[in-house]
Structure 1
Amino acid sequence: MKYLITIAVIALVLFSCTESKQKVAECSILESPKVIINKKTGAITFTENVTKVEGSNWWMGIIGQGHRMPFNENLEFDTWGVGFGNQVQPLILSDNGDVVWSEEPLRIENSDTELIVGSRDKIKVTKGGDNLKDGFLYASENYFPPSGKMPDELLFTSPQYNTWIELMYDQNQKDILKYANSIKDNDYPAGVLMIDDNWQEDYGKWNFHEGRFENPKAMMDELHSMGYKVMLWVCPFVSPDCDVYRELKSKGYFLKNKAGQPAMVNWWNGVSALLDLSNPGAKKWFTDELQRLVDEYGVDGFKLDAGDARFYTGDIELNGLSPNEHSKLYGEIGLAFPLNEYRAMWKMGGQPLAERLHDKNHNWGHLNMLIPQMLVEG
């Protein structure tokens, strides 16, 4: 009996499973019966106090905090509307095979002796086996089973080049072709070439900017002839001063504030409206725009940036979903395009989506984060 869960003053013991995989699959799941109701808001929170076996190590599905794992300090995390710039799963694992899961974002308080876990949905606690690998495999099979599909294999077999490093906001046809040629001229192989932010007319107006791209189809054809697959940067924002905004506003395709107007969201490139991807019409419009770029220009895929859960917080009506669930809706867009890349994500484990780490600064502190975060990312 290694695993102990304390609920109020009552101690319940969750039995240890044997080494048999069949018996592991039959392990009972203890769902949190302790409920806290906020008298002012009526919000319901489920909680568990998980007592840790001495010497055990614990990890949580927060990629952006992977350098702090396994937990070896007193800390608190709340993932409601927070993604730490990367992917988040509502999952906690130990190297003794313990598995903690909830369908809603988790909040934890960690100390030397216990984890206090909270969620707005039931918390499932079980023994998935005897070690970290067993626990992860149990979680994968039961909570995010593999789809059987993979992202485009080029993301794993060929170099990925990004024009942001060379051009930042000065994306233009002439310099993109110059960059692509210089790669080949220096005997590097062609691979995936990502054309980053500011190739477009405006945020939400997904046409090549005529002043910077005199013949985008010819550019795409030339890049393809050199052996590149080409991805374009996109985001879920729409600039409020462009004609596309007026069209989409009339159709009700934006998330609204409490006054019933399109919510204006501050992000790193200004203030924009945010597509409501829980609206089937808005989802279809965005997907159709991306498919049009594929059909007209031969674009091979997309770097789907932003989509962080934090952009869905504040004065926004969420239509009954959590901020994190809106982030997940953005993640589902990439399923239609095998050559995809994401940075921010909620859940979606086991799906054919390529996830990257958050940008890192040029310092030793951020360098030290790389391997721990990659290990948690898997």
Structure 2
Amino acid sequence: MNITFDLLTNERWYGGYCHYGWAQPLGEESESDINMEINTTVNQAMPFMVSTKGRYIWCEDGFQLHFKKGTLSIDYHKSEPIISAQHATLQEAYIDARAKHFPFKGDSIGMNLFTAPQYNTWIELTFYQNQKDVMKYAADITGHGLPSGVLMIDDGWSDYYGKWSFNKEKFPDAKQMIDDLHTQGFKVMAWICPFITPDTTEFRYLRDHHLLIETKDNDPYICKWWNGYSAVLDMSNPATIEWLDQQLSILMNEYGVDGFKFDAGDSIFYSNEMVTYSPTDPNTQSRLWAEYGSKYEYNEFRVTWKAAGLPLMQRLADKNHSWDEHGIQSLIPNTLVQGITGHPFVCTDMIGGGEYLNFHQNSQNLDEELFVRHAQIACLLPTMQFSAAPWRVLSPDNFELIKKSVELRNEYMPLILQLVDHARLTGEPIARLMDYVFPNQNLENITDQFMLGDQVLVAPILLKGAVDRFVKLPKGTWKDRHGLLWDGGVTVTLAPLVGEPIVLELQA
């Protein structure tokens, strides 16, 4: 079935796949096909599009969109899309859609995710997670003048997938380690996934009790993912939930783990032919993984389907260590699409990008300027996450710039926390599109700067070697970090203070 309608003059659309925020907005000149019947990306997806002219599209089961020569065509096979044209602005349409289709339940997210930078052990330890080096990483954080925050112990801390207990050789006294980290001011999260290593005690138990996804032949479904071949938990089965609850409860109650990095759960790892306790499709299993994680105050998700409204800290997918749309150029636009699709508690990936090979001591790819600019983008967004140790990979001068970005974040922390509290209640984005705050000012296409709330404009440097940039100022009077006042309604060329993005505040 198909619905087709004309785009309005200067109408721009956002939404759908956060991973392709850099290719948005879409408008009259766009020619684009978007298949949202299954989330084929490695990031958040919502069957929702919203326009700068106050219209939105919502479909419970996904759809295919076709932008072509000024028309928008919707193909659907299950539930009929809802098309609303009741409002005049992007903000009005978003707020109405959020209330009707993804009401917010965001009040239980852990505030320590926002109050200081997060730290992830992946790039420094990769496949060799161990107690000694985790403690050294933590000691180096505070020893180099960075504040303690949430510390995530990444993949490799357990014996195998599904045996969610600390490997005794790698972590001889995990409880003491976590106690010590708590004493140093850290919250501790551990990496988990919905996969189970085959031919293990846990696998046989889950298989025999039908807690795994199965094939039509009643065999465990084995999925291929980035770490090999694994069986998969059936998140539609209440008994599976009970089993996983027991594993994670031990980690929290006996070891003191504060929460979990819920990795994987990508729709593409499931099959349309799978057999589950309740009828599900790949998107539904991905959604159930996100719903499960939402009950933990400290969580992180990289990929979700229709998870807007849940109290989740949602990270952008691993970014390339590059200046293009697969790296630093994607950070702001993808984050803005996260926000306008109901994911306010966002993270712009590990600073510098998630590919650990770029940070080896002999790597020829490391770009210190890129690393610093990524930190300057992240510092005034909801969360800021380090993995590659900046004191190791950067020169002393560039590391000082990293610390300056953290200081700037601390300066604006009262505002960030105020906006987090507001988002927990309302679901409004924390990092906002320019047109969301200032409609009808020809700001529809601006995605390389953002508003932190309604009063603070942030415009980071995004080009290698640049020392200034164009900034589009909405109407009003703006004050920059140099103390200078600027009349809005124009585009100006501005240079930031050393170690900072360009920041301007709207004057009353």
TM-score normalized by structure 1?
0.85
User: Identity, % of aligned pairs?
Assistant: 38
Give the equivalent residue in structure 2 for 1:103.
60
CA distance in 1, matches of 2:9, 2:156: 53
Of 140, 149, 154, which aligns to 2:112?
Answer: 154
Give how far 1:179 is off: 0.6
Alignment pair present for 1:192 and 2:150: yes
Larger displacement relative to structure 2 (295-304 or 279-288): 279-288
Is the CA contact (8 Å cut-off) linking 2:16 and 2:36 kept in structure 1? no
Provide the secondary structure at the position in 1 that maps to 2:239.
Answer: helix
CA distance in 2, matches of 1:79, 1:126: 19
Give the equivalent residue in structure 2 for 1:357.
316
CA distance in 2, matches of 1:303, 1:357: 13
The letter for the 2-side match of 1:272 is S
Is the CA contact (8 Å cut-off) linking 1:343 and 1:358 kept in structure 2? yes
CA distance in 1, matches of 2:285, 2:63: 16
Alignment of 1:202-351 (within 5 A): 202-313=160-271, 315-317=273-275, 319-351=278-310
The letter for the 2-side match of 1:335 is S
Provide the secondary structure at the position in 1 that maps to 2:316.
Answer: coil
CA distance in 1, matches of 2:111, 2:50: 29
Structure number having the greater strand percentage: 1
Is the CA contact (8 Å cut-off) linking 2:19 and 2:44 kept in structure 1? yes
Is the CA contact (8 Å cut-off) linking 2:272 and 2:282 kept in structure 1? no
1:62 to 1:259, Cα distance in 2 relative to 1, 3 A: same
Give the equivalent residue in structure 2 for 1:93.
50
Give the equivalent residue in structure 2 for 1:64.
19
Is the CA contact (8 Å cut-off) linking 1:173 and 1:212 kept in structure 2? yes
CA distance in 1, matches of 2:229, 2:200: 13
Give the equivalent residue in structure 1 for 2:337.
376
TM-score normalized by structure 2?
0.64
CA distance in 2, matches of 1:221, 1:110: 55
CA distance in 2, matches of 1:331, 1:207: 22
Give the equivalent residue in structure 2 for 1:132.
90
Larger displacement relative to structure 2 (196-205 or 333-342): 333-342
1:165-199 deviations in whole A, cap 9, x for unaligned? 21011000000001100111111110000000010
Provide the secondary structure at the position in 2 that maps to 1:364.
Answer: coil
CA distance in 2, matches of 1:137, 1:336: 24
1:195-240 deviations in whole A, cap 9, x for unaligned? 0001011101101011211111111111111110000000000000
CA distance in 2, matches of 1:202, 1:269: 11
Provide the secondary structure at the position in 2 that maps to 1:53.
Answer: coil
Is the CA contact (8 Å cut-off) linking 2:66 and 2:74 kept in structure 1? yes
Give how far 1:69 is off: 0.7
1:341-373 deviations in whole A, cap 9, x for unaligned? 111111121221111100101111121111100
Q: Runs of 4 or more off by more than 6 Å in structure 1? A: none
Provide the secondary structure at the position in 2 that maps to 1:207.
Answer: coil
**Aligned-residue RMSD, C-alpha:** 1.3
- Greater RCO (Cα-Cα under 8 Å, separation 6 or more): 1
CA distance in 2, matches of 1:288, 1:79: 35
Give how far 1:241 is off: 2.3
Provide the secondary structure at the position in 2 that maps to 1:283.
Answer: helix
Larger displacement relative to structure 2 (243-252 or 72-81): 72-81
Alignment of 1:45-64 (within 5 A): 47-64=2-19
CA distance in 2, matches of 1:229, 1:140: 31
Equivalenced residues, count: 333
CA distance in 2, matches of 1:79, 1:201: 37
Gap runs ≥5 in structure 2:
340-508
CA distance in 2, matches of 1:214, 1:191: 24
Alignment of 1:157-168 (within 5 A): 157-168=115-126
CA distance in 2, matches of 1:357, 1:128: 32
CA distance in 1, matches of 2:67, 2:223: 33
Is the CA contact (8 Å cut-off) linking 1:256 and 1:317 kept in structure 2? yes
Of 23, 28, 36, which aligns to 1:79?
Answer: 36
Give how far 1:314 is off: 5.2
Give how far 1:106 is off: 2.1
Gap runs ≥5 in structure 1:
1-34, 36-46
CA distance in 2, matches of 1:256, 1:71: 40
1:197 to 1:128, Cα distance in 2 relative to 1, 3 A: farther
Give how far 1:306 is off: 0.3
CA distance in 1, matches of 2:271, 2:10: 38
Larger displacement relative to structure 2 (210-219 or 111-120): 111-120
Is the CA contact (8 Å cut-off) linking 1:62 and 1:83 kept in structure 2? no
Provide the secondary structure at the position in 1 that maps to 2:294.
Answer: helix
CA distance in 2, matches of 1:89, 1:312: 18
CA distance in 1, matches of 2:113, 2:69: 40
The letter for the 1-side match of 2:58 is W
